[in-house]
């Protein structure tokens, strides 16, 4: 009797292909949810900055002007007259 039940289930295409596919889709959904949560948690930890470090970084910022970027700090070339 058990053998007849097993052979009928083995030959049924819904049980043979449909159930594993449904389990894969549903299980994949739960797996992806966990992995994406880990990703966003890691990004949140990476984006937090120590307040002391942030204050130190803001002190070092200076105003950048066109003249300060293009002025020569090495020996200038003589002007041709």
Tally of residues, the chain: 81
Model pLDDT, residue 76: 60
Residue range 7-19, pLDDT digits in tens: 888 888 888 899 9
Sign, CA torsion 46/51/53/57 = positive
Matching residue, tokens 């992995």: 35
Rounded distance between C-alpha atoms, residue 79 and residue 81, angstroms: 6
Residue range 60-80, pLDDT digits in tens: 666 777 777 777 666 566 666
Give me the residue spans of the domains in the chain.
2-58
**How crowded is the C-beta side of 63, counted as CA atoms within 13 Å?**
2
């Amino acid at each position: 009797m058990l053998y007849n039940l097993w052979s009928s289930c083995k030959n049924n295409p819904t049980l043979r292909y449909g159930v594993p596919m449904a389990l894969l889709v549903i299980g994949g959904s739960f797996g992806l949810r966990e992995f994406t949560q880990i990703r966003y948690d890691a990004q949140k930890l990476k984006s937090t900055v120590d307040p002391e470090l942030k204050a130190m970084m803001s002190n070092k910022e200076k105003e950048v002007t066109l003249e300060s970027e293009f002025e020569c700090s090495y020996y200038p070339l003589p002007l041709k007259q």
